[in-house]
Amino acid sequence: MAITYELLHTCKQTGARYGILHTPHGDFETPIFMPVGTKATVKTLENQEIKEVSDGLILGNTYHLWLEPGDDIVQLHGGIRGFSKWDGALLTDSGGFQVFSLSDIRKITEEGVEFRHHKSGAKLFMSPEDSIRIQHNLGADIIMSFDECPPFDSPYDYMKQSIDRTIRWAKRGLDAHNHPDTQALFGIVQGGPFIDLRTHCAEELINMDFPGYSIGGLSVGETKEEMYRVLDEVTPILPESKPRYLMGVGTPDDIIEGVIRGIDMFDCVNPTRMARHGSAMTSQGRIPIKNKIYEKDLSPLDTECDCKVCTTYTKSYLRHLFKSEEYLGPRLISYHNLYFLKNLMKNIRNAIQNDQLGDFKANFFSKYYK
Amino acid sequence: MAITYELLHTCKQTGARYGILHTPHGDFETPIFMPVGTKATVKTLENQEIKEVSDGLILGNTYHLWLEPGDDIVQLHGGIRGFSKWDGALLTDSGGFQVFSLSDIRKITEEGVEFRHHKSGAKLFMSPEDSIRIQHNLGADIIMSFDECPPFDSPYDYMKQSIDRTIRWAKRGLDAHNHPDTQALFGIVQGGPFIDLRTHCAEELINMDFPGYSIGGLSVGETKEEMYRVLDEVTPILPESKPRYLMGVGTPDDIIEGVIRGIDMFDCVNPTRMARHGSAMTSQGRIPIKNKIYEKDLSPLDTECDCKVCTTYTKSYLRHLFKSEEYLGPRLISYHNLYFLKNLMKNIRNAIQNDQLGDFKANFFSKYYK
């Protein structure tokens, strides 16, 4: 078994889970946030910094690395770890989300998906077996089943047809997966807003006994209430002994609400994408650093943060870097934002262990969304 | 006296100088190369990295910092050092070069230069006293006289008139300079290709007894032979006991030829600018990393280099970063290029001390320009 999960404590105030995820490249306390290194680089940062601002488990994107530089080239290096020289643990998605979100023209058949390259327009095809093969080449510790990720507002009939195919694709991926001792393949629960479809999908995947379960098709434009409602219904169905990964979710409120609903793993490009636009996550909420009010502000981004950016630079200097379009600006804010989330996750885990996550949430929200 | 220079050895093979530059923020072996941090950041790098790839003395640009964020804001932080948190030594130029190279519309009077902002078009004015005042606010250890930098092919009569004004401006700067114990003001020798004008300018500046002398108006489009000819004639006039700074020069061949002609200090944006375009400086010459031949090349950029980039990453990965337009690409090549120059300077200093700079040059060129 490539990974195992140990549930160590359940918060008496909220029901949130504290546990340990054991992987071939380290043991990780959960709930955990995983920074995204789409193209084998967490944008702007180097490995030493990624270690400082993560818990040691990061994401790579199968779709992007398959197209550029090609999984064959990554595999020449022995996988993403040899390619980018990241020596922590890794998770890759299946490519499914990008196939459906980035390419306009596509044809879905039982066999797989035919689509066009999101830049060149070249005709491409990906099957569940292709996704697993590519993920073998990329070599992450945790890999994902190839799924269809339909729009949240798809009609019931389409969604039903889609999850049935996603279930069949999950089985095909499982059959194609021949590295179960070094790579843990997760099943992905789809079904949009429809609880009966979500439930059916989850039950079918649980019957296949995956080492972990992902919840996909959320944070795709639906309201937060809809997302939380789906989580309320779906996570209780998932086995207690397996990790649960809420894909693509990474705002502080969604993380806290997800944890309260039993989620163990999160990822999102948001902290680094926001950073590139000059938006910093702080204990007092978002700071748009380009704003003129920070021109002569000699205080740090976040007085409660002990990261190297907050203990070194002034808002005035950070604003200057953005106004001057200097590379260092996005780099420093990316570092801070990820550190902020790492710290948030640590605080969340402590609160769970102390049975105080409800109090922590109220206190955090009162400052972050004041 | 803010700085002093000790000449410790003259290479018997070439006449090149090895010495020590004592500054308020450290003592530096010369010849030295100074990375350029135009807007209070050496592009893409953070202070710890700049320490690793420099000898501890870097440049800031007066013109750029005056306009953005404004020297008042830098001064609020106690100067560039407080602004960017660089704790090494610093040199600023006078702004003169940028006034003449970046702005099209200008009117030069005895008082100073009227010109338009290179982006906004706003009308601006800079006098020698302004330049010194701004450089006081920026707070570098070594500062420059405000000079006119006419095109190298300006007619003799114009050049004569220009250097006479530059000499008068140097005197005015000296009179305005009231921090001589913490900031060393250098005079700048101009005169284009005309040796009699260069000589006259140098002699007048020497009479004012600056703590160091810069040679300006070179590497501005003239041939290398013309540059070397000017250096051949001008450096012998300069006092042995003062440092000599060849402004804006930073290719390996120009550095070696400059050192042989008695130059102690160099700066250039070239290593970091080249890096942002994917061009790496290596012991075997330039490597255009985006080239397809590096697609599957698992070797380091430079097998003779022990920098963290060369001891960690493959050419294939570096190429991927550039093809994917990832921030990390320019960052890693900037680091390597500056490290390459730092290492070159160390080798040059060793060669001078061993009276073997001629041999070193022949050996270096045989590989770099093979």
User: Quick one: what percent of chain B has pLDDT higher than 90?
Assistant: 91
**Most A-contacting residue of B46, B53, B138 (CB-CB within 10 A), to test interface:** B46
Active site residue A196: no
pLDDT the model gives residue B105 = 62
Q: How far is B43 from chain A (nearest CA, A)?
A: 6
- Chain A neighbors of B317, CB-CB under 8 A: 40, 77, 83-85
Residue contact B317–A43, C-beta within 8 A: no
Confidence of residue B165 (pLDDT cuts 50, 70, 90): very high
If you average pLDDT over every residue of chain B, what do you get?
A: 96
Residue contact B330–A330, C-beta within 8 A: no
User: Is residue B370 pLDDT above 90, yes or no?
Assistant: no
How large is the average pLDDT for residues A140-164? Answer: 96
pLDDT tens, position by position, A156-167: 999 999 999 999
- How many whole angstroms from its chain centre is CA A174? 22
Measure the CA–CA gap between A313 and A167, rounded to whole angstroms: 50
pLDDT the model gives residue B1 = 76
Q: Are B256 and B361 in contact (CB under 8 A)?
A: yes
pLDDT the model gives residue B179 = 87
DSSP state of A19: E
Q: How far is A57 from chain B (nearest CA, A)?
A: 19
Which CATH number is correct for A4-267, 3.30.930.10, 3.20.20.140, 3.20.20.105, 3.40.640.10?
3.20.20.105
Active site residue A209: no
User: Is residue A98 pLDDT above 90, yes or no?
Assistant: no
- Chain B neighbors of A314, CB-CB under 8 A: 77, 83
How large is the average pLDDT for residues A272-280? Answer: 98
User: Is residue B176 pLDDT above 80, yes or no?
Assistant: yes
Q: How far is A320 from chain B (nearest CA, A)?
A: 6
**Residues of A numbered 220-249 whose beta carbons fall under 8 angstroms of chain B's beta carbons: which are they?**
none
User: Quick one: what percent of chain A has pLDDT higher than 90?
Assistant: 91
pLDDT the model gives residue A7 = 98
Q: Are A114 and A106 in contact (CB under 8 A)?
A: yes
CA separation (Å) from A191 to A156, A269, A320, B133, B231? 9, 23, 46, 67, 75
- Using the Cβ of A320 and the Cβ atoms of chain B, whether some distance falls under 8 Å is answered with yes
Q: What is the ipTM of this complex?
A: 0.97
User: Is residue A360 pLDDT above 80, yes or no?
Assistant: yes
The domain spans of chain A are 4-267, 268-369
User: Is residue B104 pLDDT above 70, yes or no?
Assistant: no
Tokens of A273: 């994408």
pLDDT the model gives residue B248 = 95
pLDDT tens, position by position, A41-50: 999 999 999 9
Choosing from B55, B71, B93, B254, which is the catalytic residue?
B93
- State the first-to-last Cα distance of chain B, in angstroms, to the nearest integer: 45
Q: Is the dihedral of CA A143, A146, A151, A155 positive or negative?
A: negative
pTM above 0.90, yes or no: yes
User: Is residue A104 pLDDT above 70, yes or no?
Assistant: no
Give me the residue label for tokens 């114009």: B158
User: Is residue A105 pLDDT above 90, yes or no?
Assistant: no
User: Is residue B246 pLDDT above 90, yes or no?
Assistant: yes
For residue A320, give the chain B residue with the closest CA.
B69
Q: Are A202 and A161 in contact (CB under 8 A)?
A: no
- Using the Cβ of A296 and the Cβ atoms of chain B, whether some distance falls under 8 Å is answered with yes
- Using the Cβ of B94 and the Cβ atoms of chain A, whether some distance falls under 8 Å is answered with no
